Structure 1
Amino acid sequence: MNWLLVVAGAMVGAPLRYLTDRAVQSRHDSVFPWGTFAVNVTGCLILGVLTGAAASGAAGSHLQLLLGTGLCGALTTYSTFSYETLRLAETGAGFYAAVNVVGSVAAGLGAAFVGVAVAQAVWA
């Protein structure tokens, strides 16, 4: 029955990803993929908090399946990030492609570290 937790999380994560991407992107007049950037960094923050909570004993395996695998698995998107970066490079926006790669990795890791630190402060 663990798979039902993953499905339930994904049922929320996938539409949330789409709606967030559209809302964020509609507010920017740039070729930079702000929507994908936002959902990926947000997903990293959620996973950081969840990881810190699990390490502190505040989150069990069911919550990890629901939020980590299901919600964040559907919310975040490495394939779209890769595709959008490739399209930026192909259309002559190489600077934006490089910023997308470096910025996404740095912001994602930073968000994960912040999430773990917040969880440890709350539950430790």
Structure 2
Amino acid sequence: MTVLLVALGGATGASLRFLTDRWVQARHDTGFPWGTLVVNAVGSLLLGFLAGAALFGAPMPVLQTVLGVGLCGALTTFSTFGYESVRLLTGGARLLGVLNVVGSVLVGLGAGLLGVLLAAGIWH
């Protein structure tokens, strides 16, 4: 049953990633991968919240599995982040490539920390 729940979360996360990326990129006329940054930030926030909930005693193992492993695992995308960063760095947009790498890491860490802090505010 757990595998099916992870698959359901993964299918939902992958679909949301695709739709969100297309929606965000359609609104920005730049070569910067805003869509990937947005889905990675949202996924980091949610995963931080779920991890914080577990850390502060909110037993939600099924939700944490479905949302953390399934949804966040498919919503966030390290491979696309890596590809887009290399594409920018080797395609003559070095500044955008560096901004993507540094910005994505900082935004992801910040969003994850914010998620943990939100959970702490609720359960601690």
| Same fold (TM > 0.5) | yes
Cα deviation digits, residues 62-94 of structure 1 (max 9, x gap):
111100000000000000000001111111000
* Match runs of 1:22-33 below 5 Å: 22-33=22-33
Q: Which runs of 5+ in 2 are unaligned?
A: none
The residue identity in structure 1 corresponding to 2:22 is R
Query: Does the 8 Å contact 1:50/1:59 carry over to 2?
Result: no
For 1:20-59, what per-residue CA distance to the aligned partner results, in whole angstroms no more than 9, with x for missing partners?
0000011101100000000001100000110111112224
> Given the alignment of the two structures, is residue 72 of structure 1 paired with residue 83 of structure 2, yes or no?
no
Q: Matched residue pairs, number? A: 124
CA contact (8 A) 1:17 1:74 kept: yes
1:19 corresponding residue in structure 2:
19
Deviating beyond 3 angstroms after TM superposition, the runs of 4 or more aligned structure 1 residues are none
Looking at structure 2, the residues matched to 25 and 99 of structure 1 have their Cα atoms a distance apart, in angstroms, of 17
Distance between the aligned counterparts of 2:34 and 2:2, measured in 1? 33
Query: Aligned AA for 1:122?
Result: I
Partner Cα separation in structure 1 for residue 11 and residue 59 of structure 2: 21
- How do 1:1-124 and structure 2 match up within 5 A? 1-124=1-124
Q: Distance in 1 between matches of 2:103 and 2:89?
A: 15
Which stretches in structure 1 are left out of the alignment for 5+ residues? none
Secondary structure, in 3 states, of the residue corresponding to 2:68? helix
Opposite residue 100 of structure 1, the aligned amino acid is N
Counterpart CA distance in 2 for 1:6 and 1:94 is: 37
Give % identity.
56
